[in-house]
Amino acid sequence: MKPSLDTMPLYVKAGAIIPLGPTMQHVNEKKADNLEIRVYPGANGSFDLYEDEGDNYNYEKGVYSIIPFSWDDRNRVLKIGERQGSYPGMLKTRVFRVNAGKKTRAVKYSGSEVYVKIG
């Protein structure tokens, strides 16, 4: 497919996991509680979602969270791992919209490990 002059082709490595959130003008404008997690099939991949308060240096003291993601391409399964760490104001539960190609699934996440089968 030939792109139009209004678009730019984007080449993404197979196995990439890319989070997409709402457009914001500044970090505290709104909570990013409904992230789209795009998985680009074709290889295994991993990604760590890092979050902190966004308005201070408390991350230097370990006040942040990390959510690990890993894609098993052969089985078409995304593992959303157990959340590590915490910070004040952190979203305890959220929805991830997992998109791997033509299929999208909404997944509730509350900090515990979750497996998402796509396709």
Task: Find all residues with CB under 8 Å of 56, minimum gap 6, and list them.
Answer: none
**Mean residue pLDDT across the chain:** 91
Check if the beta carbon of residue 43 is closer than 8 Å to that of residue 12.
Answer: no
Print the domain residue range for 83.
17-117
Rounded Cα gap, residues 90 and 69, in angstroms: 18
DSSP for 19-34 reads EE----SSTTSS---E
- What is the CATH classification number for the domain harbouring 57? 2.60.40.1180
**pTM of the prediction?**
0.88
Check if the beta carbon of residue 73 is closer than 8 Å to that of residue 100.
Answer: no
Report if residue 69 sits inside a domain: yes
Report if residue 83 sits inside a domain: yes
Report if residue 108 sits inside a domain: yes
Q: pLDDT tens digit string along 9-52? A: 889 999 999 999 888 787 777 777 789 999 999 999 999 999 99
Distances (CA, A) of 56 to 5, 27, 59: 42, 11, 8
Report if residue 6 sits inside a domain: no
Counted domains in the chain: 1
Rounded Cα gap, residues 16 and 38, in angstroms: 8
